[in-house]
Amino acid sequence: MKWIIPFAVIAAPAVADQCPVGPDHTARLDQIIFELGRANGPQAARPLSQELWDLWLDAPDAIAQAILDKGMAQRESFDFPGARTTLDGLVAYCPDYAEGYNQRAFASFLQRDYDAALLDLNKALEIMPNHIAALSGKGLTLMGMGRNDEGQDALRGALALNPWLSERALITEPAGTDI
């Protein structure tokens, strides 16, 4: 019976001022990014990266969490329009929660709606400038738009925060430089 309440909230129009301020993970996020820079390889970085995701996906309240989880489940089952609609509700409910924009951007990216993805990624990064996944997503989106130099710059920014990202393989290095 617990799922009925979040579903009813998901179906109802959301009001932006209903979302509480979420937990402040800033200090731990900064610490993880510092530790990623010191990690001696991808195996050491993997649990740190997972902890980043755990913190980013920690929604401000149970209602926001239910909406986020539903949108991600829809995306994972290839219902990209449904995911975007659900995540529209999350963004309306919690306009200051960066992950709502990041997840909606991912659903847009998978539909090759790069303009919508880029708008959401920029908003996520405005809220949380060190959101590594949003920054790497921005790089991939820009590259999808044919804006390769800008995409490379965004990927380099993400790699500066986490040098062990798999997107590292997409970097095209100018002659004589190392990452």
Lowest mean pLDDT of 31-35, 80-84, 170-174, name the range.
170-174
**In sequence order, what DSSP letters do the residues of 136-172 get, joined into one string?**
HHHHHHHHHTT-HHHHHHHHHHHHHH-TT-GGGGG--
Domains of the chain: 25-165 (1.25.40.10)
Asked whether the predicted pLDDT for residue 139 surpasses 80, the reply is yes
Asked whether the predicted pLDDT for residue 85 surpasses 70, the reply is yes
Q: Write down the pTM of the prediction.
A: 0.85
3-class secondary structure, 57? coil
Please state, for a pLDDT cut of 90, what percent of the chain lies above it.
Answer: 81
Six-digit token string for 123: 């908003």
What's the confidence (pLDDT) of residue 174?
Answer: 65
In sequence order, the 6+-apart residues with CB closer than 8 A to the CB of 170 are 139, 140, 143, 155
What's the confidence (pLDDT) of residue 169?
Answer: 87
What's the confidence (pLDDT) of residue 18?
Answer: 86
How far apart (Å, rounded) are the C-alpha atoms in residues 63 and 75? 19
How far apart (Å, rounded) are the C-alpha atoms in residues 127 and 161? 17
